[in-house]
Structure 1
Amino acid sequence: MLYRVVRPVRRSGSRVPYFIQRIPADLKARVVGLKLAIPLAGTIVPLTITEKTPFIRLSLRTTNPSEAKVRQAEIAAYLEAIWRSLRENAPVSLTLKQATALSHDLYLSWAAGEDNERTVSGTIGFDGKWTLDTPPTLEETRAAWVAVVERWEALGASTEPADLEPHVGPLVSRRLLARGIPSVTPETRAILLRVFWEALRDGFASRKRNADGDYSPDPKAARYPKWEEPGRATASPAPKVSLKGLVESWWTEAKAAGRTISTYESYRNTVGRLADFLKHDDAAALTVHDIIAFKDHRLAQGVSPKTVGDSDIAGLRSIFKWAVANRKLTSDPTEGVKVTRAKATRTRSKGFTDAEAKAILKQAAEHVRGRESPKLFAAKRWVPWLCAYTGARVGELVQLRKEDVRQVGGNWVITITPEAGTVKDKEVRQVVLHPHLVDLGFPAFVGGSKPGYLFVAPKAEGDIRGVWQATKNRLAEFARQIVKDPEVAPNHGWRHLFKTVGREAGIEDSVLDGICGHAAGTVGGSYGEVSIAAQVRAFERFPRFNIDE
Structure 2
Amino acid sequence: MPKPVLIRSTYYLRVHVPRDVVNQAAGTTVVLPVGDRDCRVKLTTHAKVSLRTKDWPEAKKRFATAHAALETYWDTLRSGSTSLSHKDTVALAGEVVATFLQVLEEEPGSPEVWKQVAKLDANAREGKSNSLAGPTPSTKVTDMEHRFGELADAQLARRGLIVDNESRNRLIRRIAVAMEDVSRVSFARATGDYSEIDTLKKYPNYEPKPKQHPGVHDERGGVTFDEVIDEEVRRRSAGRDAKPMSSSAERKFRRAADEFAKHRKSKRVDTLTAQQADDWKWSMLNEGKLSNSTIAQRLQNLRTVVEWARRHALGNLFPSGNPLELVALPQRQGVNSADRTYRFCEAKLVLEGARRETKPELRWLPWMCAYSGARIEEVAQLRPDDFFQSADDWFYRITTKGGKTLKNQHSKRTVPVHPDLIAEGLIQFVQAHSSKPNQRLFPRRSQGNVAGWVRGKLGLTRKDLAPNHGWRHLFEDLAMRAGISDSAKTYITGRSTGRSAEGYGKSDAMLPGLATEMRKLPSFLPR
- Normalised by the shorter chain, which TM-score bucket? 0.3 to 0.5
TM-score (norm 1): 0.45
Higher Cα radius of gyration: 1
